[in-house]
């Protein structure tokens, strides 16, 4: 019997790559999209590969939409074996300048969206005694990514909730995996280049953020790389809680873990951008010069 897997945000980027990759490897995939009419690339990709992906219209920012969407999957498939919480949005801004509205919007989508979907599938996973929930976070959930306050807040929150969920559901045979992409080719990358700088006091902080984006644009990993790691996280016989992946993923997570908090703060005091780039490379093994 093929495993039934729900992939949120399946219309583009990591979500589309994951939905197609899992379908190619024997999963019955239900891809959630906000509009089925705009899922042409996903359906074309499935046709090219000779696989099927079932569409479910679902908005992860809406309680009723999530309940109704997951209920449709359960009615059609009878169960959900695996949930991939991939859908999300970005959000830039230094802490002083980010608006409460933007922060709440990003948290509602990136954190509560994953929580809503997990809550919808967990009762039947718990009763069955098996299941996997994969939460796609980011390396920005492991470091204070400069000038990306809303995104960092949301991804750190999702990391913490994922750790908590993992120990809560372990007695029921349900696993949680956290996949932490670095820079990956996806639609969120092109949409997340705003630099508010409303005070004019943070020119250098925004410049360093955009420096990272520019380097990432040149080196971004294909979304299929993340899809492969997600499949491993679901199917492995030797599960881990965290899976860093993509350009910068391993280097940033391992580099930050090797630093003291004081080392991290000291990086913010570096005045020269060239010196900052050199220190970034030394600490994380990543060249962000362009």
Q: What residues act catalytically?
A: 151
Q: Are 146 and 204 in contact (CB under 8 A)?
A: no
- Specify the DSSP element, H or E, that contains 6: strand 4-7
Both tokens of 110, joined, read 């990136």
Beta strand ranges found along 11-149 (DSSP E): 28-33, 53-57, 82-85, 131-136
Parallel, antiparallel, or unpaired for β 242-245 and 174-181?
Answer: parallel
Q: CA-to-CA distance for 175 and 231, rounded, in angstroms? A: 13
Residue 4, beta-bridge partner list: 28
Both tokens of 224, joined, read 């299929």
Q: Are 63 and 56 in contact (CB under 8 A)?
A: no
Q: Are 142 and 33 in contact (CB under 8 A)?
A: no
Name the H helices within 170-290.
187-191, 203-219, 223-235, 249-258, 261-268, 273-284
- 222 burial level (CB within 10 Å; 0-12, 13-18, 19+): middle
Q: Are 234 and 5 in contact (CB under 8 A)?
A: yes
- 125 burial level (CB within 10 Å; 0-12, 13-18, 19+): buried
Q: CA-to-CA distance for 206 and 93, rounded, in angstroms? A: 8
């Amino acid at each position: 019997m093929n495993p039934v897997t729900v992939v949120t945000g399946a219309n583009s980027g990591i979500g589309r790559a994951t939905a197609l990759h899992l379908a190619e490897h024997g999963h019955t995939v239900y891809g959630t999209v906000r509009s089925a009419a705009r899922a042409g690339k996903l359906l074309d990709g499935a046709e090219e590969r000779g696989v099927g992906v079932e569409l479910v219209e679902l908005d992860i920012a809406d309680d009723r939409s999530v309940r109704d969407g997951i209920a449709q999957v359960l009615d059609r498939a009878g169960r959900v074996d695996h949930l991939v919480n991939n859908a999300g949005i970005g959000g830039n801004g230094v802490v002083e300048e980010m608006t409460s509205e933007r922060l709440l919007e990003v948290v509602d989508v990136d954190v509560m969206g994953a929580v809503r979907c997990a809550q919808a599938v967990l009762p039947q996973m718990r009763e069955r005694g098996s299941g996997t929930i994969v939460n796609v976070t980011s390396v920005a959930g492991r470091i204070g990514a400069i000038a990306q306050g809303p995104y960092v807040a949301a991804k750190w929150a999702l990391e913490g909730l994922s750790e908590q969920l993992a120990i809560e559901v372990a007695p029921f045979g349900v696993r949680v995996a956290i996949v932490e992409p670095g820079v990956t080719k996806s639609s969120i990358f092109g949409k997340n280049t705003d630099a508010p700088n409303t005070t004019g006091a943070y020119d250098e902080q925004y410049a360093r953020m955009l420096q990272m984006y520019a380097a990432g644009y040149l080196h971004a990993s294909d979304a299929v790389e993340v899809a492969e790691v997600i499949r491993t996280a679901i199917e492995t016989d030797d599960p881990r809680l965290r899976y860093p992946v993509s350009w910068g993923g391993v280097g940033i997570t391992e580099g930050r873990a090797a630093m003291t908090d004081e080392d991290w703060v000291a990086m913010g005091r570096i005045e020269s951008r060239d010196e900052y780039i050199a220190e970034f490379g030394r600490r994380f093994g990543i060249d962000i010069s362009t």
